[in-house]
Amino acid sequence: MSEKDKKSLVIVESPTKAKTIKGYLGKDYVVKSSMGHLIDLPKSRMAVDINGSFEPEYITIRGRGKILKELKQEAKKSKKVYLAADSDREGEAISYHIKNAIEKENPNIEVKRIVFNEITEKAIKEAVKNPREIDENLVNAQKARRVLDRVVGYTLSPLLWEKIKKGLSAGRVQSVALKVICEREEEIENFVPEEYWTIDAVLLKDKDEFTAKLIQFKDKKIDIKTGEEAEKIIEAIKDKNFVVHEVTESQRKRRPAAPFTTSKLQQAAGSKLGFPSRKTMLVAQQLYEGIPIKGKAVGLITYMRTDSVRISDQALGEVRSFIEDQFGDEYLPDKPRVFTNRGSAQDAHEAIRPTSVFRTPESLKPYLTRDQYRLYRLIWEQFVASQMKEALIKQIKVDIKAGDALFRVSGQVILFNGFLRLTGISEKEENKRLPEMKKGEKLELKELKKEQHHTEPPPRYTDATLVKFLEESGIGRPSTYAPIITTLINRYYIERKNKQFRPTFLGRLTNNLLKQHFKELLDIDFTSQMEEKLDKIAEGKLEWVKLLKDFYPPFMKVVEKAKKELESYKGIMDEETDYICEKCGSRMVKKLGKYGYFLACSAFPECRNTMPLPYGKCPRKGCDGYIVERRTKRKRPFYGCTRYPDCDFMIWEKPAPKACPKCGTVMLEKTIDGKKFYVCLNEECGYREPVGGEKKEEILVSK
């Protein structure tokens, strides 16, 4: 092939991204996907020179050799190679390893790095015009993190295998997140509710009714502990005149929030859409890499891993034009609004925004899945609102005296809705109009109400609140939040119930063990400082080897001490059950394995029988089998009897997480008259109970 006929090779991580970029670059370019990392540390051993240089021993990842070979062969036929992995530390490392592999066999070929913040035609062509060399500092920062996490993980995990059970893992950042969740659970368990009472006055002004809250009595802030105290106050003021003591009016401006960073997007998607962090990042990745629109893949949002709130001048000009066209001059600020990054924020990327503000959510709705549409709308609205005028709200505060008591009522009126015209008005921002009142004016008392309350424990963490905590504490980085949560769930350290995280017994046991002997490693400040050092490596201000040399010797001293002092908890997770082994007649033991709980014969190793954890008894009359999960040839899950083929009972619906407390048969979750119930499959039993209800009383279903 002549030099003239050769094409340029562009290497990205994913096939979707490759397809989108190919559509922009045309026939003179070949775009291939590496499918992520091709070269990394082996899984089977430490593979780090811990006694000297801390250099990692990289290998081609198992199963990826064919992809790497194809990329090298394609590079041979190309006049240039452009490495277009994501423009972060991981992307830089992927590019670095591919460059080395290609140049080893093709030393004369030109290999360059290109980066872009959005997958649009303009951004891609601009990146190709302005290639750069590999950023060694970013590569070293990724190497330092990888080696640091490998050293911690591959040192602590075997310790957990030895002392608790095989298959456990401990990570530098995941262990801190686990600690936080466990500590919150302890706070909840140790919380003692305290009783307190409030008193409200229902008042009338010219037939307009409103409610004022008691805030002071005898010049002291209200702190009513008992109903008797509340009653005494009511008796003291019920016959007094209720007189307007003071009326205060003020105006406040409600400014829009900045466009999303990664963590803020995860928080908003968690609280508003109910998305777990992993789902948010998965859907955002799809929007970034490209969605087919009218036969052409289009990248709809900018890069979704960022902790910067910066917006490009071009995007600002576009959104200001859109606001003026759609909402009018009165909604457009005199100049663009500029938001300030947090001190530790990396400014390599813009905030998350639509690649074109003129692609409104409604115009894209036919091309997006429900989840894609909802997340895109969230991103689009946040971005547009961030450059609209602030809302102007008039606040009214009225203090009312009745003898020694001071009551207060507040109201507000939205004078100008500003950005709220786009985002909508929340319950907190709704107009709360009060009748016009003047100082010294008497009001009519309709009713005095006392109400009992109890203080509440702190709430359990959700995806949104845990990500917020990690971000504010400087633990991890935007790209790590979702994987941290996923790892903790997959390892059975925590479980998600009603969108809240609870530590499992295994999680608490692991956390207690680590807390006893690795206090500094789990210290939030220590972990945050380590992140700052990794950032310094990325900026070229710290040698990556120095970080490892400072960390490793004291860490290993603690490890050696822990090995000697830690007591064994082997077998503590095993739980004897009433299930009988069908092969030898011994009792079965409930165990936690790599893929969840299962039953194993207690006569192991003589008998190696195992079976999935049953959901309950088979409902077929005369059958003594149990319902377990099975798979069709196409891997679709169904639920059938352990005595198959003698008993052919099966259902497609997943059984409830508990057996019937009356007869032990499996129950299913069903909706009856709009309410969810667990219903026993045994028709003769007829038991059901409300899902999530506190009361577990038996409800008989008419046969």
Please give the order of strands across the beta sheet that includes 575-580. 575-580, 587-593, 596-601, 610-612
- 650, 628 in Cβ contact below 8 A? no
Question: At residue 537, what are phi and psi to the nearest 5 degrees?
Answer: -60, -45
- 496, 276 in Cβ contact below 8 A? yes
- 20, 293 in Cβ contact below 8 A? no
Q: Where are the beta strands (DSSP E) in 442-507?
A: 442-454, 494-497, 500-503
Nearest to 153 by CA among 546, 491, 461: 491
Secondary element (H or E) of residue 423? helix 420-423
Question: Exposure of 377 by Cβ count < 10 A (0-12 exposed, 13-18 middle, 19+ buried)?
Answer: middle
Question: Exposure of 60 by Cβ count < 10 A (0-12 exposed, 13-18 middle, 19+ buried)?
Answer: middle
- 81, 9 in Cβ contact below 8 A? yes
The two structure tokens encoding residue 329: 């001059």
Q: How far apart are the first and last CA of the chain?
A: 80
What whole-number distance in Å separates Cα of residue 181 and Cα of residue 693? 25
What whole-number distance in Å separates Cα of residue 311 and Cα of residue 321? 15
Question: At residue 215, what are phi and psi to the nearest 5 degrees?
Answer: -115, -20
Question: Exposure of 247 by Cβ count < 10 A (0-12 exposed, 13-18 middle, 19+ buried)?
Answer: middle
- 327, 347 in Cβ contact below 8 A? no
What whole-number distance in Å separates Cα of residue 218 and Cα of residue 578? 65
- 197, 224 in Cβ contact below 8 A? yes
DSSP secondary-structure letter at 600?
Answer: E
C-beta pairs of 221-225 under 8 Å, 24+ apart in sequence: 222/198, 223/196, 224/196, 224/197, 224/198, 224/199, 225/194, 225/195, 225/196, 225/197
- 264, 470 in Cβ contact below 8 A? no
Question: At residue 216, what are phi and psi to the nearest 5 degrees?
Answer: -145, 150
- Which residues are marked as active site? 303
Nearest to 212 by CA among 401, 442, 412: 401
DSSP secondary-structure letter at 352?
Answer: B
Q: Cα dist. 584→45, 229, 608 in Å?
A: 38, 69, 10
